[in-house]
Protein backbone atom coordinates (compact mmCIF):
# COMPACT_ATOMS: atom_id res chain seq x y z
CA UNK A 1 0.00 0.00 0.00
CA UNK A 2 2.82 2.39 0.83
CA UNK A 3 6.35 2.38 -0.54
CA UNK A 4 8.88 0.60 1.70
CA UNK A 5 10.96 3.79 2.07
CA UNK A 6 7.89 5.63 3.39
CA UNK A 7 7.06 2.81 5.79
CA UNK A 8 10.66 2.58 6.98
CA UNK A 9 10.63 6.31 7.69
CA UNK A 10 7.45 5.94 9.75
CA UNK A 11 8.95 3.07 11.73
CA UNK A 12 12.07 5.10 12.39
CA UNK A 13 10.04 8.02 13.68
CA UNK A 14 8.02 5.68 15.90
CA UNK A 15 11.20 4.13 17.33
CA UNK A 16 12.63 7.59 18.00
CA UNK A 17 9.43 8.64 19.78
CA UNK A 18 9.55 5.54 21.97
CA UNK A 19 13.16 6.24 22.91
CA UNK A 20 12.43 9.88 23.71
CA UNK A 21 9.67 8.86 26.11
CA UNK A 22 11.58 5.93 27.64
CA UNK A 23 8.91 3.47 26.49
CA UNK A 24 9.69 -0.22 26.06
CA UNK A 25 7.49 -1.10 23.10
CA UNK A 26 4.53 -0.34 20.92
CA UNK A 27 2.28 -3.32 20.12
CA UNK A 28 -0.21 -3.09 17.23
CA UNK A 29 -2.73 -5.60 15.97
CA UNK A 30 -4.57 -5.49 12.61
CA UNK A 31 -5.69 -1.86 12.42
CA UNK A 32 -4.84 1.38 10.70
CA UNK A 33 -1.90 1.77 13.11
CA UNK A 34 -0.38 -1.51 11.98
CA UNK A 35 -0.92 -0.58 8.32
CA UNK A 36 0.60 2.86 8.85
CA UNK A 37 3.77 1.46 10.43
CA UNK A 38 4.27 -1.71 8.41
CA UNK A 39 2.43 -1.48 5.08
CA UNK A 40 0.62 -4.74 5.89
CA UNK A 41 -3.16 -4.61 6.01
CA UNK A 42 -5.62 -7.15 7.34
CA UNK A 43 -8.85 -7.38 9.30
CA UNK A 44 -8.86 -8.26 13.01
CA UNK A 45 -9.48 -11.93 13.66
CA UNK A 46 -9.36 -14.44 16.49
CA UNK A 47 -5.72 -15.40 15.83
CA UNK A 48 -2.85 -13.54 17.50
CA UNK A 49 -1.14 -11.19 15.04
CA UNK A 50 0.98 -8.35 16.41
CA UNK A 51 3.60 -5.86 15.31
CA UNK A 52 6.12 -5.15 18.08
CA UNK A 53 8.12 -1.94 17.76
CA UNK A 54 10.84 -1.05 20.25
CA UNK A 55 13.35 1.80 20.15
CA UNK A 56 15.78 -0.56 18.38
CA UNK A 57 13.74 -3.12 16.44
CA UNK A 58 10.48 -4.13 14.83
CA UNK A 59 9.09 -7.63 14.42
CA UNK A 60 5.87 -9.46 13.66
CA UNK A 61 4.23 -12.24 15.63
CA UNK A 62 1.79 -13.93 13.25
CA UNK A 63 0.04 -17.15 12.29
CA UNK A 64 2.30 -19.09 9.94
CA UNK A 65 -0.25 -18.80 7.11
CA UNK A 66 0.58 -15.07 6.97
CA UNK A 67 4.36 -15.43 6.67
CA UNK A 68 4.80 -14.80 2.94
CA UNK A 69 1.94 -12.29 2.83
CA UNK A 70 3.57 -10.08 5.48
CA UNK A 71 7.04 -10.34 3.94
CA UNK A 72 5.71 -9.23 0.55
CA UNK A 73 3.83 -6.23 1.97
CA UNK A 74 6.22 -4.98 4.63
CA UNK A 75 9.89 -4.00 5.01
CA UNK A 76 9.83 -5.59 8.48
CA UNK A 77 12.00 -8.67 7.93
CA UNK A 78 11.69 -10.32 11.33
CA UNK A 79 8.50 -12.40 11.24
CA UNK A 80 7.97 -14.96 14.04
CA UNK A 81 5.20 -17.42 13.31
CA UNK A 82 3.11 -19.91 15.23
CA UNK A 83 0.88 -22.74 14.01
CA UNK A 84 -2.71 -23.53 14.88
CA UNK A 85 -1.63 -26.44 17.08
CA UNK A 86 0.58 -24.17 19.22
CA UNK A 87 -0.15 -21.79 22.06
CA UNK A 88 0.69 -18.30 20.71
CA UNK A 89 1.29 -16.91 24.19
CA UNK A 90 4.44 -19.05 24.44
CA UNK A 91 5.79 -17.26 21.37
CA UNK A 92 4.85 -13.95 22.97
CA UNK A 93 6.89 -14.89 26.04
CA UNK A 94 9.89 -15.78 23.87
CA UNK A 95 9.60 -12.53 21.91
CA UNK A 96 9.42 -10.56 25.16
CA UNK A 97 12.62 -12.21 26.35
CA UNK A 98 14.34 -11.58 23.01
CA UNK A 99 13.31 -7.91 22.94
CA UNK A 100 14.05 -7.42 26.63
CA UNK A 101 10.63 -6.04 27.41
CA UNK A 102 8.10 -6.71 30.14
CA UNK A 103 9.05 -4.54 33.10
CA UNK A 104 8.51 -1.06 31.64
CA UNK A 105 5.69 0.73 29.85
CA UNK A 106 4.05 -0.95 26.84
CA UNK A 107 1.67 0.85 24.49
CA UNK A 108 -1.04 -1.27 22.89
CA UNK A 109 -3.25 -0.45 19.94
CA UNK A 110 -6.18 1.73 21.04
CA UNK A 111 -8.68 -0.60 19.36
CA UNK A 112 -7.07 -3.91 20.28
CA UNK A 113 -9.61 -6.55 21.20
CA UNK A 114 -9.87 -7.35 24.92
CA UNK A 115 -8.92 -10.97 24.15
CA UNK A 116 -5.46 -9.86 23.09
CA UNK A 117 -4.89 -7.16 25.70
CA UNK A 118 -5.70 -9.73 28.36
CA UNK A 119 -3.15 -12.15 26.92
CA UNK A 120 -0.52 -9.41 26.78
CA UNK A 121 -1.19 -8.44 30.38
CA UNK A 122 -0.88 -12.09 31.42
CA UNK A 123 2.33 -12.48 29.40
CA UNK A 124 3.89 -9.31 30.79
CA UNK A 125 2.49 -9.05 34.34
CA UNK A 126 5.20 -6.65 35.53
CA UNK A 127 4.64 -4.13 32.72
CA UNK A 128 2.46 -1.04 32.79
CA UNK A 129 0.20 -0.42 29.83
CA UNK A 130 -0.88 2.61 27.85
CA UNK A 131 -2.38 3.38 24.45
CA UNK A 132 -0.56 3.55 21.14
CA UNK A 133 -2.06 6.97 20.44
CA UNK A 134 0.33 8.40 23.03
CA UNK A 135 2.98 8.11 20.31
CA UNK A 136 1.17 7.51 17.03
CA UNK A 137 -1.34 10.36 17.13
CA UNK A 138 1.43 12.92 16.80
CA UNK A 139 3.01 10.95 13.93
CA UNK A 140 -0.21 10.29 11.98
CA UNK A 141 -1.94 13.65 12.42
CA UNK A 142 0.30 15.40 9.87
CA UNK A 143 0.03 13.70 6.51
CA UNK A 144 3.10 13.10 4.35
CA UNK A 145 3.05 13.77 0.61
CA UNK A 146 2.17 10.18 -0.30
CA UNK A 147 -0.86 10.35 1.98
CA UNK A 148 -1.92 13.74 0.64
CA UNK A 149 -1.78 12.54 -2.96
CA UNK A 150 -3.96 9.53 -2.11
CA UNK A 151 -6.45 11.77 -0.29
CA UNK A 152 -6.53 14.20 -3.22
CA UNK A 153 -7.30 11.38 -5.66
CA UNK A 154 -10.01 9.94 -3.39
CA UNK A 155 -11.56 13.43 -3.25
CA UNK A 156 -11.39 13.81 -7.04
CA UNK A 157 -13.21 10.50 -7.49
CA UNK A 158 -15.87 11.54 -4.96
CA UNK A 159 -16.33 14.89 -6.71
CA UNK A 160 -16.67 13.24 -10.11
CA UNK A 161 -19.37 10.88 -8.86
CA UNK A 162 -21.13 13.72 -7.02
CA UNK A 163 -21.47 15.59 -10.30
CA UNK A 164 -22.63 12.46 -12.15
CA UNK A 165 -25.31 11.76 -9.53
CA UNK A 166 -26.61 15.31 -9.38
CA UNK A 167 -26.91 15.17 -13.20
CA UNK A 168 -29.66 12.55 -12.75
CA UNK A 169 -32.07 15.42 -12.18
CA UNK A 170 -35.70 14.28 -12.65
CA UNK A 171 -34.54 10.70 -13.36
CA UNK A 172 -33.83 10.32 -9.63
CA UNK A 173 -37.49 10.85 -8.75
CA UNK A 174 -39.05 7.53 -7.79
CA UNK A 175 -35.73 5.88 -7.01
CA UNK A 176 -35.36 4.62 -3.48
CA UNK A 177 -32.55 5.84 -1.26
CA UNK A 178 -31.03 2.36 -1.44
CA UNK A 179 -31.15 2.34 -5.25
CA UNK A 180 -29.45 5.73 -5.40
CA UNK A 181 -26.81 4.56 -2.90
CA UNK A 182 -26.11 1.48 -5.05
CA UNK A 183 -25.73 3.73 -8.10
CA UNK A 184 -23.25 5.92 -6.20
CA UNK A 185 -21.21 2.94 -5.05
CA UNK A 186 -21.05 1.42 -8.54
CA UNK A 187 -19.86 4.70 -10.01
CA UNK A 188 -17.21 5.11 -7.31
CA UNK A 189 -15.77 1.73 -8.29
CA UNK A 190 -15.98 2.56 -12.01
CA UNK A 191 -14.11 5.82 -11.41
CA UNK A 192 -11.16 4.02 -9.83
CA UNK A 193 -12.15 3.87 -6.18
CA UNK A 194 -11.70 0.83 -3.93
CA UNK A 195 -14.94 0.26 -2.09
CA UNK A 196 -16.59 2.88 0.10
CA UNK A 197 -15.11 4.93 2.92
CA UNK A 198 -18.22 4.25 5.03
CA UNK A 199 -21.81 3.20 4.41
CA UNK A 200 -23.25 5.63 1.88
CA UNK A 201 -25.72 8.19 3.20
CA UNK A 202 -28.75 9.04 1.06
CA UNK A 203 -31.29 10.86 3.24
CA UNK A 204 -34.36 12.06 1.40
CA UNK A 205 -36.83 14.51 2.94
CA UNK A 206 -37.30 13.89 6.68
CA UNK A 207 -34.62 11.18 6.68
CA UNK A 208 -32.07 13.89 5.96
CA UNK A 209 -32.78 15.34 9.41
CA UNK A 210 -30.96 12.37 10.95
CA UNK A 211 -27.22 12.94 10.47
CA UNK A 212 -26.29 9.25 10.46
CA UNK A 213 -29.26 7.89 8.53
CA UNK A 214 -27.78 5.60 5.91
CA UNK A 215 -30.33 4.67 3.24
CA UNK A 216 -33.62 2.85 3.12
CA UNK A 217 -36.62 2.13 0.92
CA UNK A 218 -38.07 5.65 0.92
CA UNK A 219 -38.54 6.97 -2.62
CA UNK A 220 -37.12 10.32 -3.70
CA UNK A 221 -39.97 12.77 -4.29
CA UNK A 222 -40.19 16.09 -6.18
CA UNK A 223 -39.01 18.95 -3.97
CA UNK A 224 -37.17 16.60 -1.58
CA UNK A 225 -33.90 17.86 -0.16
CA UNK A 226 -31.59 14.82 -0.35
CA UNK A 227 -28.44 14.62 1.78
CA UNK A 228 -25.72 12.72 -0.11
CA UNK A 229 -22.70 11.83 2.02
CA UNK A 230 -20.22 9.35 0.55
CA UNK A 231 -16.65 8.61 -0.42
CA UNK A 232 -14.32 5.93 -1.72
CA UNK A 233 -10.84 4.80 -0.84
CA UNK A 234 -7.77 5.25 -2.98
CA UNK A 235 -4.58 3.46 -1.92
CA UNK A 236 -6.22 2.98 1.47
CA UNK A 237 -7.15 6.62 2.04
CA UNK A 238 -10.79 7.77 2.10
CA UNK A 239 -12.78 10.50 0.44
CA UNK A 240 -15.65 12.06 2.38
CA UNK A 241 -17.89 14.80 1.02
CA UNK A 242 -21.52 15.81 1.49
CA UNK A 243 -23.90 17.73 -0.72
CA UNK A 244 -27.62 18.38 -0.30
CA UNK A 245 -29.51 18.29 -3.60
CA UNK A 246 -33.07 18.76 -4.83
CA UNK A 247 -33.25 16.59 -7.95
CA UNK A 248 -36.50 18.00 -9.32
CA UNK A 249 -39.27 20.35 -8.32
CA UNK A 250 -39.08 23.33 -6.01
CA UNK A 251 -38.23 22.96 -2.32
CA UNK A 252 -39.97 24.90 0.40
CA UNK A 253 -38.89 28.46 1.23
CA UNK A 254 -37.47 27.43 4.57
CA UNK A 255 -35.12 24.98 2.88
CA UNK A 256 -33.76 27.76 0.68
CA UNK A 257 -32.87 29.82 3.72
CA UNK A 258 -31.38 26.87 5.61
CA UNK A 259 -29.24 25.81 2.66
CA UNK A 260 -28.00 29.35 2.20
CA UNK A 261 -27.12 29.54 5.91
CA UNK A 262 -25.28 26.20 5.89
CA UNK A 263 -23.35 27.20 2.78
CA UNK A 264 -22.34 30.47 4.43
CA UNK A 265 -21.28 28.58 7.57
CA UNK A 266 -19.31 26.09 5.50
CA UNK A 267 -17.37 28.85 3.73
CA UNK A 268 -16.74 30.61 7.06
CA UNK A 269 -15.34 27.42 8.56
CA UNK A 270 -13.02 26.78 5.62
CA UNK A 271 -11.84 30.39 5.58
CA UNK A 272 -10.94 30.15 9.27
CA UNK A 273 -8.48 27.30 8.66
CA UNK A 274 -4.77 28.04 8.79
CA UNK A 275 -1.56 27.09 10.61
CA UNK A 276 -1.56 28.18 14.23
CA UNK A 277 -5.34 28.50 14.38
CA UNK A 278 -6.98 26.54 17.19
CA UNK A 279 -9.34 23.81 16.01
CA UNK A 280 -12.15 25.32 18.06
CA UNK A 281 -11.87 28.57 16.09
CA UNK A 282 -12.93 26.70 12.94
CA UNK A 283 -15.91 25.28 14.80
CA UNK A 284 -16.71 28.71 16.19
CA UNK A 285 -16.60 30.38 12.78
CA UNK A 286 -19.10 27.94 11.28
CA UNK A 287 -21.31 27.74 14.36
CA UNK A 288 -21.54 31.52 14.77
CA UNK A 289 -23.02 31.91 11.29
CA UNK A 290 -25.77 29.41 12.02
CA UNK A 291 -26.52 30.95 15.39
CA UNK A 292 -26.81 34.40 13.83
CA UNK A 293 -29.10 33.01 11.14
CA UNK A 294 -31.35 31.44 13.78
CA UNK A 295 -30.37 27.81 13.22
CA UNK A 296 -27.87 27.23 16.02
CA UNK A 297 -30.07 24.67 17.76
CA UNK A 298 -30.29 22.66 14.56
CA UNK A 299 -26.49 22.23 14.37
CA UNK A 300 -26.16 19.18 16.61
CA UNK A 301 -22.69 17.80 15.85
CA UNK A 302 -19.07 18.93 15.64
CA UNK A 303 -17.89 20.91 12.64
CA UNK A 304 -15.40 18.30 11.50
CA UNK A 305 -13.14 15.32 12.04
CA UNK A 306 -9.66 14.39 10.93
CA UNK A 307 -9.28 12.03 7.97
CA UNK A 308 -6.43 9.63 7.22
CA UNK A 309 -6.29 5.85 7.12
CA UNK A 310 -9.31 6.14 9.42
CA UNK A 311 -12.21 8.19 8.14
CA UNK A 312 -12.65 9.60 11.67
CA UNK A 313 -9.43 10.44 13.50
CA UNK A 314 -7.73 13.46 15.12
CA UNK A 315 -7.89 16.39 14.89
CA UNK A 316 -11.54 16.80 15.85
CA UNK A 317 -13.02 20.21 15.04
CA UNK A 318 -15.06 20.82 18.17
CA UNK A 319 -15.93 23.79 20.33
CA UNK A 320 -13.54 22.62 23.08
CA UNK A 321 -10.47 21.54 21.10
CA UNK A 322 -7.73 24.12 21.59
CA UNK A 323 -5.13 22.19 19.59
CA UNK A 324 -3.34 24.44 17.09
CA UNK A 325 -3.65 23.37 13.48
CA UNK A 326 -0.43 22.45 11.66
CA UNK A 327 0.50 22.06 7.98
CA UNK A 328 -0.39 18.58 6.74
CA UNK A 329 -3.43 18.12 8.95
CA UNK A 330 -6.49 16.95 6.98
CA UNK A 331 -10.05 17.21 8.25
CA UNK A 332 -13.63 17.81 7.21
CA UNK A 333 -15.58 21.05 7.48
CA UNK A 334 -19.22 19.97 7.56
CA UNK A 335 -21.76 22.22 9.26
CA UNK A 336 -25.34 21.05 9.08
CA UNK A 337 -28.85 21.94 10.18
CA UNK A 338 -31.39 19.23 10.99
CA UNK A 339 -35.11 19.93 11.36
CA UNK A 340 -36.73 16.77 12.69
CA UNK A 341 -39.68 15.61 10.61
CA UNK A 342 -38.87 18.01 7.77
CA UNK A 343 -35.38 17.86 6.21
CA UNK A 344 -31.67 18.25 6.84
CA UNK A 345 -28.88 20.14 5.10
CA UNK A 346 -25.18 19.34 5.33
CA UNK A 347 -22.30 20.55 3.16
CA UNK A 348 -18.88 18.96 3.62
CA UNK A 349 -15.45 19.29 2.08
CA UNK A 350 -12.12 17.86 3.19
CA UNK A 351 -9.37 20.43 3.65
CA UNK A 352 -5.60 20.39 4.19
CA UNK A 353 -3.80 22.92 6.37
CA UNK A 354 -0.97 24.42 4.32
CA UNK A 355 2.04 26.52 5.30
CA UNK A 356 0.10 29.71 4.68
CA UNK A 357 -3.58 28.77 4.70
CA UNK A 358 -5.84 26.00 3.47
CA UNK A 359 -6.34 23.74 0.45
CA UNK A 360 -9.77 22.34 -0.34
CA UNK A 361 -9.68 18.75 -1.53
CA UNK A 362 -13.27 18.86 -2.82
CA UNK A 363 -14.58 21.18 -5.50
CA UNK A 364 -17.87 19.75 -6.79
CA UNK A 365 -20.87 22.12 -6.91
CA UNK A 366 -22.24 23.06 -3.50
CA UNK A 367 -25.56 24.40 -4.73
CA UNK A 368 -28.78 22.51 -4.13
CA UNK A 369 -29.81 22.54 -7.80
CA UNK A 370 -28.89 19.43 -9.78
CA UNK A 371 -27.16 20.97 -12.81
CA UNK A 372 -26.17 24.53 -11.93
CA UNK A 373 -22.63 25.86 -11.76
CA UNK A 374 -20.27 26.06 -8.84
CA UNK A 375 -20.31 28.27 -5.78
Above 70 in pLDDT, residue 2?
no
Above 90 in pLDDT, residue 374?
no
pLDDT of residue 89: 96
Question: How would residue 370 be classed by pLDDT, with cut points 50, 70 and 90?
Answer: confident
The mean predicted confidence, pLDDT, of the chain is 96
Mean pLDDT of 150-177: 97
CATH class of 4-140: alpha beta
Report the alpha-carbon angle 116-118-122, nearest 5: 115
Output the furthest CA–CA distance in the chain (Å, rounded). Answer: 71
Mean pLDDT of 90-100: 97
Above 80 in pLDDT, residue 63?
yes
Return the CATH number of the domain spanning residue range 145-360: 3.90.230.10
- For the chain, report the end-to-end CA distance as a whole number of angstroms: 35
Output the pTM of the full model: 0.93
Rounded-to-10 torsion of CA 85, 89, 95, 100: -160
What is the CB-side half-sphere exposure of residue 80 using CA atoms within 13 A? 20
Q: Are 248 and 370 in contact (CB under 8 A)?
A: yes
Mean pLDDT of 263-271: 98
Strand ranges in the chain using DSSP code E only, listed in sequence order = 25-28, 50-53, 58-63, 79-82, 105-108, 128-131, 201-204, 226-230, 233-234, 237-238, 241-245, 304-306, 313-317, 330-333, 336-339, 343-346, 349-353, 358-360
Where do the domains of the chain lie? Answer: 4-140, 145-360
Above 70 in pLDDT, residue 372?
no
CA 87 to CA 309: how far, in whole Å? 32
pLDDT of residue 209: 97
176: phi then psi, degrees, rounded to nearest 5: -85, 160
pLDDT of residue 5: 75
Mean pLDDT of 17-39: 97
pLDDT of residue 375: 46
Above 80 in pLDDT, residue 355?
yes
Give tens-digit pLDDT for 169-227. 999 999 999 999 999 999 999 999 999 999 999 999 999 999 989 999 999 999 999 99
Above 70 in pLDDT, residue 373?
no
What is the CB-side half-sphere exposure of residue 83 using CA atoms within 13 A? 1
Above 90 in pLDDT, residue 3?
no
Strands 25-28 and 105-108: what pairing? parallel
131: phi then psi, degrees, rounded to nearest 5: -105, 145
Percent of the chain having pLDDT more than 70?
Answer: 98
**CB neighbour burial string for 114-136, b if at least 16 within 10 angstroms, e if fewer:** eebeebbeebbeebeebebbbbb
Question: How would residue 273 be classed by pLDDT, with cut points 50, 70 and 90?
Answer: very high
Question: How would residue 7 be classed by pLDDT, with cut points 50, 70 and 90?
Answer: confident
Amino acid sequence: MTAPSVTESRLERARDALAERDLEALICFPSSNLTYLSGFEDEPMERHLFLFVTPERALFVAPEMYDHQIREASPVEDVRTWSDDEDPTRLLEAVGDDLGIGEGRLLVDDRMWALFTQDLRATFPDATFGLASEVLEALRIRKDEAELEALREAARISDRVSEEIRAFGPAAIGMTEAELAAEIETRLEDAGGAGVSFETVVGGGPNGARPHHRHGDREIEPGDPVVLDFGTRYEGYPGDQTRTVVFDGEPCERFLDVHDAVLEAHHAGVEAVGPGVEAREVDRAARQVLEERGYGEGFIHRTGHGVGLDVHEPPYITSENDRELEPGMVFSVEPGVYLEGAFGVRIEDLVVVTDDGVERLNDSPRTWRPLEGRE
